[in-house]
Amino acid sequence: MGVSGPGALTARLDAALRAPGAALLLDLDGTLVDSEPTHRAAFQTYFARRGWDVTDQMLHAFAGRRGAEVFASVEGPWTGEDPMTLAHEVIACLDVGRYPAAPVPGAAESVAGWRGAGVPVAVVTSATEAWATAALELLGVADLGVALVTAELVEVGKPDPAPYRLGAEVLGVDAAACVAAEDTPAGLAAARGAGVGLVLGVSTSHDDETLRRAGAHAVVPDLTELVPR
């Protein structure tokens, strides 16, 4: 199911989310908040402390996925070390004061608008609960009843469909009645694999063609099109 033209897309999103039983499932990093500089700096700081030479391509492997799973599955200077320990040590290097995250345009308005319209919303992220909570506070929507599906709640992360299946389950809806927004191929694969009805690619981290090949029904530069009309 393709969606072409900004006007057609806006109308399709609005209709989908106003349908009975609809819900909104949103990725966090790169979709709701531009935290790439924050996370990239944390990885670079940690790798430098360890004296590891890590290429940009290797860093890119962590986009949209749980750090521990990448450490476990991608060969690198970390091979042989405990993946969970490595992930926690990278998290400890996050410096939001020096490398702050910024809201993606339309993110706060989309969450607040659809919650105000009575639509259930869940953030489905590979990040920790602590980071997800901080991001919702940054957006000013932490008190709007947004559900969280974080790294602690699933055994296998994106691109496995489990996080999105759990997101729909937590909200008590059918995944086919949901709209999802994602910025990475791993996240898009997870949403499509879970049977989400309309999957929006957000081109903050990857180009349009990459996102379409990964399964996005439509691609937008930010979440402005998702704001309820």
- Of 14, 29, 82, 160, which is the active-site residue? 29
Active site residue 29: yes
Task: For the chain, state the CA radius of gyration.
Answer: 17
Distance of alpha carbon 133 from alpha carbon 148, whole angstroms: 8
Q: In terms of Cα–Cα distance, which of 141, 179, 142 is closest to 14?
A: 179
Tokens standing for residue 156: 């296998």
- Of 14, 27, 34, 183, which is the active-site residue? 27
Tokens standing for residue 197: 């009805």
Distance of alpha carbon 195 from alpha carbon 185, whole angstroms: 15
CB neighbour list of residue 79: distance below 8 Å, 6 or more residues apart: none
* Residues identified as active-site: 27, 29
